[in-house]
Chains A and B, each alone.
Chain A
Amino acid sequence: MLLLLLVGIGIGIYVKGQVYDPGLFSLNPYALSRDRSAEAQLDRLVSLGDGKSKSFSGVDMHPSSPSGLLDNLAPAEWKPLGNVTQFTADSLYEKIDGRAEQYIDYKFVRLTCLSLVNAQDSKQFIDVYLYDMGRPAQAFGVFSVERSEGLPSVSLGREGYRVEASYFFWKGRYYVQLLASGKGAELAQVGLNVARALERRLKDDGEPLWGLKALPEKDRIRGTVQYFLIDAMSLDFMKDTFIAQYRKGEAKVTAFLSKQSSLDAAVKTLVSYEAYLKKTGKVIDKRETGVYTLVTGDMGGTFDIVFRKGKLIGGVTMVETRSIGEKAALDLLAALQD
């Protein structure tokens, strides 16, 4: 009898695993509701914030998230729309499927989300996304690769910018997105107030990132520094790399700087880069001094100039004029020597 019971349980588990039915044992109050209008839907979503109901994705953290960072964040005349939800690397796809991989590549730890809605106008809402990226460099990394050039900067966290009424900033190990439902000065002000309130709650030891210190500021185009933990410039051997755009006269130059874990690793990385240059173009110059090694590659219309100095790999990529590229690479090298 017991054996039969065990077999039955086994079959039950197997069948359950095969059929998508996340709500098999849960109660969906919306499904029971007769009124499914948008207004009723809004009421229900708001009621989720009262701690009586459960939302369907992520992990509900109401009445307060473990860290409490998103508690009581709603400004006057605004209220939470649903509960605080959290997602880890295993569940992040439930929130940002299709984009989760990028965050996971930066060693994402946890996403905490909260929606706020204007109590007077349900079409106005602000979604708060608080990404715990584990380390400041990783927080800066995702912040930087999602940012476009020329967006108005805002004094939020270590660095922030605004797009209409939405705000994006990083501070310490956190990357924050506050996504507003629309435009307008009033909504933008509410968003800024929420952003400032959250910013004050985020801890940051203030230690500068090595790449931001090392890349020279002269000629650097504002807001163009990016950090790649892996696969910088789509090269699988380029890890822990900062990239920035520089204005060199009329030309725009992309410079990069990567710190390797050891001298050996740096030598190997330069060998890999040289092999890549040979595979996709040709190496046209190689200089070795007692201090650095510099390799110039002709990629068929553009030039990559890469150097190694100690544990650092740096250079410029896809520069249209060789002389400009070599000068920019040597400028970068000189700045490091300084």
Chain B
Amino acid sequence: MERREFLKRAGATGLAVVGAALGAIWLHDPRSGAEYFRDWKSKKTKSLKSFRVNRLKGAVDMAVVRGKDPEKMMRAGLAEMGSIGSFVQKGDVVVIKPNVAFDRPPALGVTTNPDVLKAIARLCQEAGARKIIVADNPINQPEGCFFKSGIQQAAEEVGAEVMLPKPSAFALLKIEGEALSIWPMFYQPFEQATKVIGVAPCKDHNLCSASMTMKNWYGLLGGRRNQFHQKIHDVIADFSHMMKPTLVVLDATRILMQNGPTGGRLSDVSETNTIVIGTDMVAVDTFGYTLFGRDPDKLDYLHKAEARGLGSTKWKEQNWKEVLAG
């Protein structure tokens, strides 16, 4: 090789090495791989706004309604709380989140009573809601669950839109809870929502003792959500941080007293003819737990949520009313 050729090649190699080094320095990110991907995920995440409404001072926060006609019960309960108009206004898009987790008929108390759902939807319409969306991400095949639970038909009867969990309807949600940080959620219904109402059945649960209004939001999670079972009380407490609904309704018209959450026997269902309406999920669930004849002091997720300032277990100290309806 000639000297000139050698110098040219050595120069080119040197330039390549220096260029690569400068490029590496320019591309270098001091974050670890885990941090990098966490930040990358964080950029893609969505957040949920609060759907709460301002309440007048002294307004009733929780109504416990006894009766047999869900529509009369909802009307009577909301009348005590200042009418549906104090929660839903003209032009609102209301997302109603029932529990349609399993493909069970309504009488088994595993899913939200369709009559309760209809009653709420009708009241929202009367208040001027522009659109009502009924949405859940069932554990079983969605169409089967909505059909067998009677929720599909109930929604149709009141002209509400049923939104099923298509894959494209999910987004990463920034929850920033103690157990849930970022997780895929059935997000599409909430993109256009101005108000959110959770309507949960009151039922026994094999893992967390009882599934009520806080646990109801579990149904919005995507992914392999069974992996949270080991820390289910932390996850449920996180829901009161994740979701700030306009209202929650605990449908205790019938209660699945044992063998929950799937049930299967009418003999496990108790007709309790009660609906609890409230703005504080922790308070509603604390009261709801007493309907099982169980001690709320022993239900971990209530106290975890309360300790984080996300609600109060002291429902008796709140402004609440018991109402008898038809």
List the interface of chain A (C-beta within 8 A of B): 14, 18-24, 28, 30-31, 36-38, 41-42, 44-45, 55-57, 81-82, 93-102, 115, 125, 127, 146, 148, 151, 163-164, 166, 168, 177, 179, 181-183
Set A56, A95, A100: member contacting B142, Cβ < 8 A: A56
| Contact between B266 and A21, CB atoms less than 8 A apart | no
> In the assembled complex, how far is the CB of residue B121 from the closest CB belonging to chain A, in whole angstroms?
15
Q: How far is the CA of A19 from the CA of B260 in the complex (A)?
A: 29
B156 and A166 contacting across the interface, CB-CB below 8 Å: no
What's the Cα separation between A27 and B146 when bound, in Å? 20
| Given A56-B141, A182-B107: A21 touches B147 (CB 8 Å cut-off) | no
Contacts of A14 in B (CB 8 A): 37
- Per CB-CB distance, the 4 closest pairs between chain A and chain B, nearest first, are A20-B222, A93-B226, A20-B184, A98-B261
Establish whether residues A24 and B167, one from each chain, have CB atoms under 8 Å apart when the complex forms: yes
Which of A18, A44, A127, A168 contacts B143, CB < 8 Å?
A44
What chain A residues lie within 8 Å of B108 (beta carbons)?
Answer: 179
Asked if A18 meets B41 with Cβ closer than 8 Å, knowing A38-B153, A99-B206, A163-B265, the reply is: yes
- Whole-angstrom distance between the alpha carbons of A37 and B157 in the complex? 10
- Verify B264–A166 contact, CB threshold 8 A: yes
Asked if B103 is at the interface (CB within 8 A of a chain A CB), the reply is yes
Pick from B170, B211, B229: contact of A21, CB under 8 Å: B170
Specify which of A24, A98, A125 is in contact with B262 (CB 8 Å cutoff).
A98
Is B302 part of the binding interface, using a Cβ–Cβ cutoff of 8 Å? no
Contact assessment for A82 and B140 in the assembled complex, using a CB-CB cutoff below 8 Å: no
- The CA-CA distance from A93 to B20 in the complex, in Å, is 51
Q: Which residues of B contact A38 (CB under 8 A)?
A: 147, 152-153, 156
Report whether B170 and A20 are in contact in the complex, using a CB–CB cutoff of 8 Å.
yes
Residues of A within 8 A of B101 (CB): 97
Q: Are B166 and A163 in contact (CB under 8 A)?
A: no
B222 touches A41 (CB 8 A): no
B207 touches A45 (CB 8 A): no
B225 cross-chain contacts in A, Cβ below 8 A: 97
Contact residues in A for B267 (Cβ distance below 8 Å): 148, 151, 163
B168 proximity list for chain A (CB < 8 A): 21
* A36: nearest chain-B partner, CB-CB: B162
A248 CB to closest chain B CB (Å) equals: 26
- The residue in A28, A98, A163, A181 that gathers the most chain B C-beta atoms within 10 A of its C-beta is A98
Give, as a whole number of angstroms, the nearest-CB distance from A24 to chain B: 6
12 contacts between A and B (CB under 8 A): A20-B222, A38-B156, A94-B140, A96-B262, A97-B226, A99-B260, A101-B206, A163-B267, A166-B265, A179-B104, A179-B264, A181-B148
Contact B156 A100 (CB under 8 A): no
**Given A30-B164, A82-B141, A96-B102, 11 further pairs, Cβ under 8 A:** A20-B167, A20-B170, A21-B170, A45-B144, A55-B141, A55-B144, A57-B141, A97-B226, A100-B226, A166-B266, A183-B266
- Whole-angstrom distance from the CB of B157 to the nearest CB of chain A? 9
Answer whether residue B69 sits at the interface, using C-beta atoms and an 8 A cutoff.
Answer: no
Question: Could you say which interface size class chain B belongs to?
Answer: 35 or more
Distance between B34 CB and nearest chain A CB, rounded to angstroms:
12
| Complex alpha-carbon distance, A168 and B206, angstroms | 19
B205 within 8 A of A: yes
A146 to B139, CA, bound (A): 21
- Bound CA–CA A77/B266 (angstroms): 25
Expressed in whole angstroms, the minimum distance between the Cβ of B309 and any Cβ of chain A is: 28
Choose from B37, B105, B205 the contact partner of A98 (Cβ within 8 Å): B205
Instruction: Given A56-B141, A101-B229, verify A146-B162 contact (CB < 8 Å).
Output: no
Would A19 and B170 be within 8 Å (CB), given that A97-B225, A148-B267 are in contact?
A: yes
Q: How far is the CB of B68 from chain A (nearest CB, A)?
A: 18
Residue of A nearest to B185 (CB): A20
A146 to B258, CA, bound (A): 9
Contact call B262/A99, Cβ cutoff below 8 A? yes
Q: Is the CB–CB distance between B261 and A99 below 8 Å?
A: yes
Which residues does chain B contribute within 8 Å of A99, judged by CB atoms?
206, 259-262
Q: How far is the CA of A101 from the CA of B172 in the complex (A)?
A: 27
Give residues of chain B (99-154) contacting chain A, Cβ–Cβ below 8 Å.
Answer: 101-105, 107-108, 139-144, 146-148, 152-153
Kindly list chain A residues whose C-beta atoms are within 8 Å of the C-beta of B142: 56
Contacts of A31 in B (CB 8 A): 164, 166
- Contact assessment for A41 and B146 in the assembled complex, using a CB-CB cutoff below 8 Å: yes
Does chain A have a CB within 8 A of B306? no
Task: Tell me the complex Cα distance, A37–B156, Å.
Answer: 7
B206 contacts A98, C-beta separation under 8 Å: yes
Task: Determine how close the nearest CB of chain B comes to the CB of A261; give it in whole angstroms.
Answer: 28
B223 touches A (CB below 8 Å)? yes
A148 and B265: CB pair below 8 A?
yes
B268 on the A face (CB < 8 A): yes
Q: Which residues of A contact B41 (CB under 8 A)?
A: 18
Contact of B223 among A20, A100, A127, A183 (CB under 8 A): A20
Task: Identify which of residues 218-252 in chain B touch chain A, using a CB-to-CB cut-off of 8 Å.
Answer: 222-223, 225-226, 229
Residues of B within 8 A of A24 (CB): 167
B208's nearest neighbour on chain A, judged by CB, is A98
Contact B141 A41 (CB under 8 A): no
Please measure, in the bound complex, the distance between the C-alpha atom of A102 and the C-alpha atom of B229, giving whole angstroms.
12
In the complex, residue of chain A having the shortest beta-carbon distance to the beta carbon of B170:
A20
> 1/0 per position for B264-296, CB-CB distance to A under 8 A?
111110000000000000000000000000000
